[in-house]
């Protein structure tokens, strides 16, 4: 049992490292799509290595904002994580964010970010974005594109305030952890 868990964990870590080291933007048509597919894979794996205080079924992954990320995120819809099916949903209103387990906040929502984060503050909603300085603004996981790689940073303090437990394996892979 422990060996099987270790092998699964090792496989995921290798996959995540491969995605981290893979070019975030391919040359030519579909370069943004490739980057978003990589980010969607990261979000799937964040769901694997974060624990929520409740066993809600299905686990809802929401997107908020006018962005082109939603179609790539659909690739994880229907996948199972810890016996919970991931359901991807697009929301248009900030007030709906509290009903999400994972909330991807699009760059177009930068001006509304304080209101969005205030709406989900102290709720078990994992907030993720690819906005610059997202974790410093109070978000939980910031996806970064640097030197043609996708990296991430974690605001552990904010996650803990929302009763989310972030795996130490995930923390080890983060570019930066804010405590």
Q: What is the pLDDT of residues 92-119, one digit of tens each?
A: 999 999 999 999 999 999 999 999 999 9
Look up the pTM and report it.
0.83
Instruction: Please list the residues that pair with 129 across neighbouring strands.
Output: 105, 142
pLDDT digits (tens, 9 = 90+) for 21-72: 444 433 334 567 788 899 999 999 999 999 999 877 899 999 998 767 778 8
Is the peptide bond preceding residue 58 cis, with omega within 30 degrees of 0? Answer: yes
* Of residues 63, 25, 19, 64, the one with CA closest to residue 38: 19
* Residue 57 Cα distances to 3, 101, 164, angstroms: 28, 10, 16
Query: Does the domain formed by 2-178 have CATH 3.30.70?
Result: no
3-state helix, strand, coil split of the chain in percent (to 5) is 45, 25, 30
Radius of gyration of the chain (CA): 15
Give the side-chain half-sphere CA count within 13 A for 42. Answer: 32
Angular region, 78: left φ>0, alpha ψ -120 to 50, beta rest:
left
pLDDT at 30: 56
Phi, psi of 64 (to 5 degrees): -130, 125
N-term to C-term CA, the chain? 32
Domain spans of the chain, in order of start: 2-178
């Amino acid at each position: 049992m422990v060996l099987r868990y270790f092998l699964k964990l090792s496989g995921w870590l290798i996959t995540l490292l491969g995605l981290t080291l893979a070019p975030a933007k391919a040359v030519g048509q579909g370069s943004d799509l490739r980057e978003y597919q990589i980010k969607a894979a990261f979000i799937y794996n964040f769901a694997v290595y974060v624990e929520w205080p409740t066993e809600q079924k299905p686990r809802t992954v929401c997107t908020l904002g006018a962005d082109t990320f939603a179609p790539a995120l659909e690739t994880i819809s229907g996948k199972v994580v810890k016996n919970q099916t991931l359901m991807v949903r697009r929301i248009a209103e900030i007030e709906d964010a509290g009903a999400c387990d994972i909330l991807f906040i699009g760059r177009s929502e930068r001006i509304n970010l304080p209101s969005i984060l205030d709406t989900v503050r102290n709720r078990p909603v994992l907030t993720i974005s690819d906005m610059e300085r997202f974790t410093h603004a109070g978000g939980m996981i910031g996806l970064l594109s640097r030197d043609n790689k996708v990296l991430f940073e974690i605001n552990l303090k904010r996650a803990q305030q929302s009763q989310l437990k972030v795996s130490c394996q995930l923390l080890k892979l983060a570019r930066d952890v804010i405590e």
